Amino acid sequence: MRDIEGMRQRIQHLKETRQAVIVAHNYQWPEVQDVADFVGDSLELARKTATLDNPIIVFCGVHFMAESAAILNPTRRVLLAESTAGCPMAEMIDVDTLRQWKAQYPDAAVVAYVNSSAAVKAESNVCCTSANAVKVVDALREQRILFVPDRNLGAWIAKQTRKEIIIYPGFCITHFRVKPEHILAAKQAHPGAVVVVHPECRPEVTAIADAVLSTSQMGRYVKASPAREFIIGTEEGLIHRLRQQNPDKAFFAASTALLCPNMKKTTLESVVSALEMDRYHITVEPELAARARRALDRMLEIV
């Protein structure tokens, strides 16, 4: 039997002893979110890690997120709580493919979703998150944009801008599982609920939603909304945070398929091990990090 309270106390002790800070993505297990110092989406965590002065950052998320934290904090030790937590979408594009694509469109700017490797970021003009993607695209002087690697977020951006968006065919395997029939079934079960989905969902899903938002935007949206019930079309981990922040409102997952196997690899045991053993130190080669940081910094300057 797992000693949850014992692990929480151990984490608190190790965190204080090592002057560490724990950051967790919204899609983590509730038990992991609850021991974190900061919980948020990719943009929130990128902003937060860039301002931290703790010598150790324990990242509860997937590899590209910890990699970005390491790029933004070169003098700090960034530990990924679970070494095998990757992102299939980020792995759908590599540097050689991106370079070939850039050669076909020499007049285009490359906008890389933060769900990408440091190497891909280094080949890009600027990064974006789902929260600021349209704003980033509109801030560029180029009229033609190569967007990598998420085709669904790219399609959503294309609907919000006058620029030409050339979209790479990658996708999030978790959000891609959600289909219109799941949304319609959820609405039938909860007829008064507002449907809020992530732009990583298929276009035919975003088309029937009441709002299409990043996870941080979802938090602000439901807090301000007079509605009492919401159907949430993103990884189910976000519902824990929404319920904490809005105890008087009800939240329902749009589909039982909305569980990311990589995000869910991190447990309290992972956090304890990372702190105790100082393991899974994420590093990025300095020259590569410098180039990737330019794309990240440009994003942070725009928002």
Q: Helices (DSSP H) in the chain: which residue ranges?
A: 4-18, 30-35, 42-49, 63-72, 95-104, 118-122, 133-139, 151-160, 180-189, 203-206, 215-224, 237-245, 268-277, 286-302
Residue corresponding to tokens 């301000």: 224
3-state secondary structure of 84: coil
- The pLDDT, as a whole number, for residue 50 is 85
Buried b (16+ CB within 10 A) or exposed e, 194-209: bbbbbbbbbeebbeeb
Q: Where are the domains of the chain?
A: 4-86+263-283, 90-171, 175-253
Looking at this protein, which amino acid is placed at residue 212? Answer: V
Class of 90-171 per CATH?
Answer: alpha beta
Q: Determine the Cα angle at 41 with ends 300 and 142, to 5°.
A: 40
For domain 175-253, the CATH architecture is 3-Layer(aba) Sandwich (3.40)
Pick the closest to residue 250 from 189, 175, 202 (CA basis).
Answer: 189
213 vs 175: CA distance, rounded Å: 13
In contact, 105 and 166? CB cutoff 8 Å: yes
Residues paired with 253 in a beta bridge: 232
Is there a common fold for 90-171 and 175-253?
A: yes
In contact, 102 and 110? CB cutoff 8 Å: yes
Residues paired with 24 in a beta bridge: 39, 60
CATH code linked to domain 4-86+263-283? 3.40.50.10800
pLDDT in tens, the chain (303 residues): 899 999 999 999 999 999 999 999 999 999 999 999 999 998 788 889 888 889 999 999 999 999 999 999 999 999 999 999 999 999 999 999 999 999 999 999 999 999 999 999 999 999 999 999 999 999 999 999 999 999 999 999 999 999 999 999 999 999 999 999 999 999 999 999 999 999 999 999 999 999 999 999 999 999 999 999 999 999 999 999 999 999 999 999 999 999 999 999 999 999 999 999 999 999 999 999 999 999 999 998 986
272 vs 276: CA distance, rounded Å: 6
